[in-house]
Amino acid sequence: MAWYSILPDDLIHVESWAVRIFFILGLVTILPWAALILFDAGLYLWRMVAYEFPVVGGRARGMQPPRAPGLNERPGGQRRVFSFPRYEDTASSGDAKAGDNAGDGDDIKRRIPRHQTE
């Protein structure tokens, strides 16, 4: 029996298979994310190097150097607006009539989302 085992000697094969299964599940979870990050970094480096190529590169053609995308600006140059959706009370919208929900929890206020058109 190994010093790190919590199972008896006759169940060591169950423990080893459980370790293998969880290791494979961890790889299945992590490898796609790691591949995407490596691909993104490689693509960014390729674009930076391709910008510097003489004659056919972006600098030779008068283009702007590639920039990594940011969370503050959209590709068009506009700033992004991060906010919570606005809500309005249903009772104030005129949809509810007096006595519609008598005894159905009148003290509960329901809110519906209102689309922001700014």
- Give the pLDDT confidence of 72-97 residue by residue, as tens digits: 777 677 777 777 766 665 555 454 45
pLDDT of residue 11: 86
Does residue 4 lie within any of the structural domains?
no
Does residue 1 lie within any of the structural domains?
no
Residues of the chain with pLDDT under 70: 1-3, 68-69, 75, 85-118
Contact 51/66 with Cβ under 8 angstroms? yes
Does residue 95 lie within any of the structural domains?
yes
Does residue 50 lie within any of the structural domains?
yes
Domain of residue 68, residue span: 10-114
Does residue 5 lie within any of the structural domains?
no
Counting Cα atoms < 13 Å in the Cβ hemisphere of 106 gives 8
Q: What residue type is assigned to position 104 of the chain?
A: D
Number of structural domains in the chain: 1
pLDDT of residue 87: 62
Structure tokens that stand for 112 in this block: 């519906």
Does residue 3 lie within any of the structural domains?
no
Predicted TM-score (pTM) of this structure:
0.46
Cα angle, residue 88 at apex, residues 83 and 89 outer, rounded to 5°: 145
Does residue 69 lie within any of the structural domains?
yes
